[in-house]
Amino acid sequence: MITQPPLIARLRASTAACALLSMLAVTPSLAVADEAEQMLPDMVVRDSASPLEKYKLPNTTVGVTAERLADTVNVMDTEDAVKYMPSLGVRKRNNGDTQSILMTRTWGYSSSARTLVFADDVLISALIANDNSRGGPRWGMVAPEEIERVDMVYGPFAAQHPGNAMGGVLQIATRMPDKLEASFKQTESLQPFSLYNTRDLYRTDQTSATIGNRLGNFSFFLSGNTAHSQSQPLTMITNGSSTTPTGAVSGTIVAKNKSGAPANVVGVGGLLQTEMDTLKAKMAYDFTPELRAAYTFGFWQNNGRSRVESYLKDSNGVSTLGNVSGFASSNYKLEQAQTSHALSLKSDTKGFWDFDAVATHVQYDHDRQAAPSTVVGNTFSDRGQSTHMDGTNWSTVDLKGIWRPEGKGGDHEVSFGAHYDRYILVATVYGLRNWNSENNVTGKLSDGRGNTQTSAGWVQESWAFAPGFRATLGGRYESWTAFDGYNATTNGLSSIQPGRDATAFSPKGSLSWEFVPQWSVTGSVGRATRFPTVSELYFVAGSGTSQVIPNSVLRPERETSYELALEGGVGDGKVRLSFFQEDVAKAIIAQNSFLNGVSTSYNQNVDQIRNRGFELAAEQRNLVFDGFDLQGSFTYLDAKIIRDPTWSGGTQVVGKRVPNIPDMKATMVATYRPTEEWALTGAARYQGKMTTTLDNTDYVGHVYGAFDRFFVMDVRARYKHNENLEGAIGIDNVNNAKYWEYHPFPQRTFIAEMKMKL
């Protein structure tokens, strides 16, 4: 296999000593578009309006700036930026994780296609899938040092967003310079880890550099980020009820799986070392102060090597694999390289008319994962397999306009637009005579290919029809097709899948009343249709002990969402209480079961589910004394299966919890700034337990495959010597909580960073 060297020279700095801070805390700043956002002291003032302000989105919104992130969050990867936002969570298994799934207040894991993530209008959500692996947003396309601010838009209440926004839309904005600037940042982390018979120290080194300038009407910003990470074990190697694997006399640890069946642990896998690099180039040209053209190029590559550790010993006390085939799939090599492009032309006249035109393309230039087929005695087989996703890509085009018949600040504002996207899946598994080389292919073991395409048009009006009242009405029409679907398996079966098409109209409505200054109540309702992803329809894979089966006849899931939100200012802060409900018909739910002794993953439509609950979020600046800020949120969700007549599992599912969604989430963040140079932060996160099966039979916790409730505390101390030099130290999971989100999650981790700016 080809090993691609890192693109940026690595600096390995020693890890600084970390101090323990004893504080509790809450979430980053809550914000609501327009008036509520202006209450935030650290709001970045832009030359042009953000999409949230520009298009008068009716949604509940939260936001956090780069300065607030630097004060409060130990950011190793871009997805860490949302760590303390109300109701949000990220399934980040380790530093450099390529499968970090964003959770919202109504959707949890295996829901990557129910939330959209954009970076400067480039869609980095991988809507080729809706799962915890292939569907993870391509966070690596954005280096942490690029971030200017992050905003979360909740719910499908804006006509410009497709049904994939039923969980919300995350907007990451990055910076463009007004003068010459450059920066260099080094970040280090250390994680002492202990689980079963594994005890080790895992390290991450990250180096970032940026440079930018404005030369007349032309501006540019270049950024590079390189990271070397070592992860804790991500998988447990289990051996059913057997206590004496072949050739082993000791080392088996008696355990169960999440459903209570024997799953004795004989070792760990997924000890992953990665070399990850990100390069970004952004260029903009201002034709006039109100008209800007921009182009962004991004390159991301990831090279990983996963190894295993066996607990088994033979009669001589020597480590052995014991002929346990499960070790094979956790011993693999990974090579990925992806590029992204975005071209835009935008106006910001603040007059009668404005427009945006954006085209994006994301390409999997090189994406391969190779592993041995099985274990033979005490060694891995030479024969193996390699999964190729080279050529997988997606493209989007968005055209938007705004008409202000009475000019800027008038009572009426009409926005409208058109959208086009196309997703192309290429996923082929090849057999190899020697899994360490790509040049000895024996044939195809499986093949999954297909395309989906969506065209849409939308219109929305925002109308301030009376003092204190604003109504927002809109609708979105979508036409979806799936075509060129093809599946083949190693047993010689192949099929050309029939084409699919569907249309949907999604009306939206919102009414807001500011009944006293700085206090308002908003009611919103919206329909949304999420069409199946190309992977849900066509992706097929199998490794002997596990397989993924596509479902080419899945129906679109259709949702009706409701929200009633009360919010207002209290002293030097704000508070919001939101009640929400989602009724979903034909919800696409991922399931796992054993078919003919093989672990099988598949998707099915559930006739009707209901997600409802409430979210309380608040923040207060200078609480009790100057410089002390406190923020927090609490979310409760009652997610139930209402009807599923096609269920044939032999157990009852009606009335059970919807899989993969926790019942509660809470965050707290407390920050004290004793001087202008120092910011001391303590934070806490809580997440309730969730089930992963439709009949809720996975009741055993703290084992491989389980999803535990957890309470984690983090601390951070930032020192800003001046505008050109700053540093920070912190600890994530300072209470060393040991919990499982299917995988064992990171234990106490020490972090140190140093940043220099020109």
User: Residue 289, Cβ neighbours under 10 Å: how many?
Assistant: 11
* Average pLDDT for 81-106: 93
Domain residue limits at 303: 36-380+418-757
pLDDT in tens, 372-428: 999 988 899 999 999 999 999 999 999 999 999 998 888 999 999 999 999 999 999
pLDDT at 593: 63
pLDDT in tens, 624-659: 899 999 999 999 999 999 999 878 766 788 999 999
* Average pLDDT for 364-370: 95
pLDDT in tens, 191-218: 999 999 999 999 999 999 999 999 999 9
Query: H/E element holding 722?
Result: strand 710-722
Give CA separation, 89 vs 100, 120, 447, 686, in Å: 10, 21, 33, 10
Residue 596 has pLDDT above 80, yes or no: no
Give the span between the Cα atoms of 570 and 577, in whole angstroms: 13
Give the span between the Cα atoms of 358 and 557, in whole angstroms: 27
Residue 63 has pLDDT above 50, yes or no: yes
What is the pLDDT of the chain when averaged over all its residues? 88
Give the span between the Cα atoms of 64 and 86, in whole angstroms: 11
Q: Is residue 20 part of a domain?
A: no
pLDDT at 33: 35
pLDDT at 24: 26
Residues 750 and 734 sit within 8 Å (Cβ to Cβ) = no
| Listed range (159-163, 438-442, 668-672, 683-687) with the worst mean pLDDT | 438-442
- Helix (H) and strand (E) counts for the chain? 4, 38
Q: Is residue 104 part of a domain?
A: yes
Structure confidence at residue 28 as a pLDDT band (50, 70, 90): very low
If we measure between CA atoms, which residue out of 228, 45, 71, 21 comes closest to residue 148? 45
* Average pLDDT for 531-537: 93
Structure confidence at residue 543 as a pLDDT band (50, 70, 90): low
- Residue 438 backbone dihedrals phi, psi, to 5 degrees: -90, 0
Structure confidence at residue 41 as a pLDDT band (50, 70, 90): very low
Give the span between the Cα atoms of 87 and 687, in whole angstroms: 10
Domain at 675, CATH number: 2.40.170.20
Q: Is residue 484 part of a domain?
A: yes
Give the span between the Cα atoms of 630 and 680, in whole angstroms: 12
Comparing 143 with 518, the larger pLDDT belongs to 518
Structure confidence at residue 46 as a pLDDT band (50, 70, 90): very low
Q: Is residue 429 part of a domain?
A: yes
Dihedral angle of Cα 655, 659, 664, 665, to the nearest 10 degrees:
-160
Residue length of the chain: 758
Residues 166 and 156 sit within 8 Å (Cβ to Cβ) = yes
Residue 229 has pLDDT above 70, yes or no: yes
pLDDT in tens, 440-474: 888 888 899 999 999 999 999 999 999 999 999 99
Residue 23 has pLDDT above 80, yes or no: no
* Average pLDDT for 128-147: 89
Q: CB neighbours of 706 closer than 8 A, spacing ≥ 6? A: 258, 698, 700, 740, 742
3-state secondary structure of 72: helix
Q: Is residue 597 part of a domain?
A: yes
Give CA separation, 623 vs 174, 571, 718, in Å: 31, 9, 20
Q: Is residue 27 part of a domain?
A: no
Q: Is residue 17 part of a domain?
A: no
pLDDT at 21: 26
- The residues that bridge with 638 in the sheet, in sequence order, are 612
- The residues that bridge with 64 in the sheet, in sequence order, are 150
Residues 473 and 462 sit within 8 Å (Cβ to Cβ) = no
pLDDT at 651: 78
pLDDT at 598: 57
Structure confidence at residue 594 as a pLDDT band (50, 70, 90): low
Tokens of residue 79, six digits: 């997805």
* Average pLDDT for 72-76: 95
3-state secondary structure 235-293: EEEECCCCCCCCCCCECCECCECCCCCECCEEEEEEEEEEEEEEEEEEEEEEEECCEEE
Give the span between the Cα atoms of 642 and 639, in whole angstroms: 9
pLDDT at 122: 82
- The residues that bridge with 567 in the sheet, in sequence order, are 520, 576
pLDDT at 607: 94
Residue 661 has pLDDT above 70, yes or no: yes
Q: Which residue has the tokens 């040049």?
A: 439
Region at 571 (left for phi over 0; alpha for psi -120 to 50; beta for the rest): left
pLDDT in tens, 252-281: 999 999 989 999 999 999 999 999 999 999
Give the span between the Cα atoms of 342 and 362, in whole angstroms: 9
- Residue 360 backbone dihedrals phi, psi, to 5 degrees: -135, 155
Number of domains observed in the structure of the chain: 1
Residue 4 has pLDDT above 70, yes or no: no
Q: Is residue 569 part of a domain?
A: yes
| pLDDT cut 90: percent of the chain above it | 73
pLDDT at 146: 87
pLDDT in tens, 722-734: 999 999 999 999 9
Give the span between the Cα atoms of 264 and 255, in whole angstroms: 5
- Residue 308 backbone dihedrals phi, psi, to 5 degrees: -125, 160
